[in-house]
Chains A and B, each alone.
Chain A
């Protein structure tokens, strides 16, 4: 391992992308993720890459479409309202099976909402914010070190499956600072891209990148192919971390920042003789269904803690499949639940 530095989450995403071979970044500033663009603007010229501050988020995602079509590693980033603007481009890129990485450092909504941290874009990310039957791989890191590792991984996953991958953090993760240790050599999986529009050299038929299929039979075939790919990703790419679940009284589930808070709640509860487990989905899609199935009959109940009005809890309920009650606790508007608040919820549930 290499040298340790003290970095902001947003800076680490940019640095990790560059280390993963990302040569093109297109974006538009918005709090709380602007440091990504700021870092890219400074660093891209040093590595022979391209930084473009696009005229809008819509332009940026379409620049991503272009660069990805040419087979290069490319990224864009934004925060909630900006990600909403990108949805049309995201659907088109998913339809055209373009590999690219999209970062959403989530802030509060709906609408302009506010600049403070939130997890209220879970539905948008995992259920398809744009139109059509498509999926993005959605990675949810919970530390600065993990932001680094998963950003590199996001590029590998994207290339492997010709797939859009989203890094979903919240404002706290983007803005907070932690020590990060970079590897001397990144694990970059280089994939041939015979489909890319890199010029025929008069030696082959030209490639086309498209999401339109004129014949309905062909479009249905294309959709089936996409669904088969998503099934393969569901089989291979689930990432999850479980802790203390074996004989837990209650299993709490949380991702990102919220999981960090729950980690401390586990210690607090232990002092009061309550055994709290944690299932932390790292991939929000594909959702770690099997992990919930594995522990479904262990605790008295499940509790999903989120910075929203209750989104991931729906996937938790589907996975637990009625075997145990699934409760929800969340805060909104940039408010973050305290450890005590979560512990109080746990006690209330266990006393029911």
Chain B
């Protein structure tokens, strides 16, 4: 896990950023006292951090969502409380960013402050997503997100999955692709994430930390 106070989750839209960020917040809250998660997604209309609000708040996490999240309007407004978090240095901060370069654009607004304070910017990868299923596309996506945010990706996360149809082969295949990008761009892999049924198995095959996810962003029939 990162040692930085501010952890940013970026990636291709649908890569699982929110699921990973929300679980990351819960994990942080089990180790440190003050954790805040900020929903800065200006792309996705449904399936947001706000879906897990009560679960997060039960663990004492400060959940900051745009006032229009999960309402019937589509207003890409940023929550003002984020500015407080740059001052409140006693908080560990998790920023959940919208997908692609479009979503990462919001970071440019806070770029100077983030560079000044230091950050860890994760790039969440699912190689089973159609726009990041080749090395070229992956590299291009990283380039686009860095260009639009003005920040550097500091760690990669292998979140390769097919939801309920995920198996070990899927995760390992994703890992090979991400390893190639990691070596080429010299960006370390932070961890592999996946649902709990993969615990143990993945670590046997890949020598890297496995971060177990609990499904918190649900469908009406889950």
Q: Is B116 an interface residue (CB 8 A)?
A: no
Kindly state whether residue B206 has any CB partner on chain A within 8 Å.
Answer: no
B75 to chain A, nearest CB (A): 10
Q: Residues of B within 8 Å of A, CB-based: how many?
A: 23
Would B220 and A171 count as touching, CB distance under 8 A? no
Contact B72–A113 (Cβ < 8 Å): yes
Alpha-carbon distance between A108 and B14 when the two chains are bound, in angstroms? 24
* Closest chain A residue, CB of each to CB of B70: A116
Name the one of B14, B72, B73, B133 contacting A177, with C-beta atoms under 8 angstroms.
Answer: B14
Residue of B nearest to A175 (CB): B46
| Listed residue (A4, A6, A42) with the most chain B CB atoms within 10 angstroms of its CB | A6
Chain B residue at minimal CB-CB distance from A260:
B221
Contacts of A263 in B (CB 8 A): 221
**How many A-B contacts at CB < 8 Å in the complex?**
70
Stretch from B32-40, B158-166, B195-203 at the A interface: B158-166
Q: Is B72's CB under 8 angstroms from A5's CB?
A: no
| Known A-B contacts A6-B14, A172-B220; A32 and B130 likewise in contact (beta carbons under 8 Å) | no
B197 CB to nearest A CB, Å? 15
- Flag whether B126 is at the interface (Cβ < 8 A): yes
B133 closest partner in A (C-beta): A5
Are A32 and B128 in contact, with the CB atoms below 8 A? no
Q: Which one of B46, B128, B133, B164 contacts A171 once the chains associate, using CB atoms below 8 Å? A: B46
Q: Which residues of A contact B46 (CB under 8 A)?
A: 32, 116-117, 171-172, 175
Cβ A333 vs Cβ B129 within 8 A:
no
Q: Please report whether the interface of chain A is mostly helix, strand, loop or mixed according to DSSP.
A: mixed
A171: chain B residues at CB < 8 Å are: 45-46
Q: How far apart sit A172 and B45, CA to CA, in the bound complex (Å)?
A: 10
Q: Is the CB of A15 within 8 A of B72?
A: no
7 contacts between A and B (CB under 8 A): A4-B162, A108-B72, A114-B73, A177-B14, A260-B219, A261-B220, A334-B72
Contact of A31 with B220 in the complex, beta carbons under 8 Å: no
**A146-164: which residues lie under 8 A (CB-CB) from chain B?**
none
* A11 cross-chain contacts in B, Cβ below 8 A: 130
Interface residues of B in 32-66 (CB under 8 A from A): 44-47
Check if B74 is an interface residue, CB within 8 A of chain A. Answer: yes
Which chain B positions have C-beta within 8 A of A8? 14
Contact with B along A170-182 (1 / 0, CB 8 A): 0110011111000
Residues of B within 8 A of A178 (CB): 163
Residue of A7, A260, A339 touching B129 (CB-CB under 8 A): A7
Q: Is the CB of A175 within 8 A of B220?
A: no
1/0 per position for B114-148, CB-CB distance to A under 8 A?
00000000000010111101000000000000000
Q: What is the CA–CA distance of A336 and B218 in the complex, to the nearest angstrom? A: 13
Q: A304 CA to B220 CA in the complex, in Å?
A: 18
Render A108-152 as a binary contact track against B, CB cut-off 8 A, 1 for contact: 100001111100000000000000000000000000000000000
Chain A nearest Cβ from B157, distance in angstroms: 15
B-contact 0/1 string along A334-352, CB 8 Å cutoff: 1010110000000000000
Tell whether A6 pairs with B221 under 8 Å between CB atoms, given A15-B130, A116-B72.
no
A257: Cβ under 8 A from any B Cβ: yes
Task: Answer whether residue A210 sits at the interface, using C-beta atoms and an 8 A cutoff.
Answer: no
Residue of A with least CB distance to B15: A6
- Report yes or no: B165 in contact with A4, Cβ–Cβ below 8 A: yes
Q: A318 vs B47: C-alpha distance in the bound complex, in angstroms?
A: 37
A207 sits at the interface (CB 8 A):
no
Residues of B within 8 Å of A56, CB to CB, are none
Residue of B nearest to A258 (CB): B220
Other than A6-B161, A261-B221, give 7 A-B pairs with Cβ distance below 8 A: A7-B129, A115-B74, A116-B46, A175-B46, A175-B47, A260-B221, A263-B221
Q: Mark A2-45, 1 if CB is under 8 A from B, else 0.
A: 00111110010001000000000000000110000000001000
